[in-house]
Structure 1
């Protein structure tokens, strides 16, 4: 939004930053590690680890929660906290008060992270739908 960042925060204006690429995340934890020759990893029911997948989703949410802590919109942070609590009842994530975004570079980075998070939530949503579907039961 123009009012939040001081510029139009559109997907076309920023380079996406994957803040989870060097750690366990939804994509690494919920797909087959060796996709083979194709570029679309397959889910193998015999080797699929539901616990590992849920942990990857939790780690994604945790990483994005930390990166977005300066966001003015506390609704996003509260929603992430609720999702984390649903995944791990022992989570004690307490919303932090939003600090002011001081530089244009910080606002651009936050815009980039928000778009990357929006895309990652699509993946998380699809994995949660898969995990709760009758076909995923063994």
Structure 2
């Protein structure tokens, strides 16, 4: 299976669409006790906040035209991380939005795959030139907060702590690749938001 797959999107997710996918009744956040998680890291209401912040920062960054000069990012393909099974493993056992009943929800498998996604995108982003500081204080900051507070096990010697690429100008190919991967990260982060909200609400254990 290839590392990345290309899909087609012609527009960014609008705020209304993001609000819809984050507020479907299935994924609403409850106010229950923190849900124990593998490696003793709990999923709390704050994790829901960190995940939403990450999504909004990715969406806002995709609107920064100076990141993608020379082409129109909205017209480019989406590149997704295909080394994880997050969309299928994080699907709820009963989907109130679609009315489709899914298989039993495996929390550990879902969160393990989310963690692998976070590592994948963190490693990609830390390798990108960022002379305008449009990635470090926004997407990378939010991603790091989510990893540190909710997926601490993802932080290892293999995950760089900060930008490692010199602050040089990006090449055309780098800007094009960044656009495609960020769009894929946006799509995957919507799934991550749904999963974290689902787990935090306690729906998966009812």
Structure 1 residues 1-138: aligned runs within 5 Å: 1-7=64-70, 9-11=72-74, 13-18=75-80, 20-21=81-82, 23-31=83-91, 42-44=101-103, 47-69=104-126, 70=128, 72=130, 73-74=135-136, 75-90=138-153, 91-92=155-156, 93=159, 94-99=161-166, 100-138=168-206
* Normalised TM-score (structure 2): 0.53
Moved more, 64-73 or 90-99: 90-99
Question: What 5-or-longer segments of structure 1 have no aligned partner?
Answer: 33-39
- Cα-Cα RMSD: 2.5
Deviation at 1:113, TM superposition (A): 0.7
The separation in 2 between residues aligned to 1:102 and 1:10, in whole angstroms, is 15
RCO greater where, 1 or 2, for CA within 8 Å and sep 6 or more?
2
Deviation at 1:112, TM superposition (A): 0.7
Specify whether residues 87 and 16 from structure 1 end up closer, same or farther in structure 2 by C-alpha distance, changes over 3 A only: same
The separation in 1 between residues aligned to 2:87 and 2:140, in whole angstroms, is 22
* Normalised TM-score (structure 1): 0.76
Deviation string for 1:28-75 (max 9, x for gaps)? Answer: 43248xxxxxxx98533xx32111111111111111111222152202
Question: What 5-or-longer segments of structure 2 have no aligned partner?
Answer: 1-63, 93-98
Deviation at 1:80, TM superposition (A): 0.9
Specify whether residues 95 and 31 from structure 1 end up closer, same or farther in structure 2 by C-alpha distance, changes over 3 A only: same
The separation in 2 between residues aligned to 1:15 and 1:135, in whole angstroms, is 34
Q: Which residue of 2 aligns with 1:37?
A: none
The separation in 2 between residues aligned to 1:80 and 1:30, in whole angstroms, is 19
The separation in 1 between residues aligned to 2:162 and 2:122, in whole angstroms, is 9
Aligned pairs, number: 126
Q: Is the 8 A contact 2:86 2:113 kept in 1?
A: yes
Greater fraction of residues in strand: 2
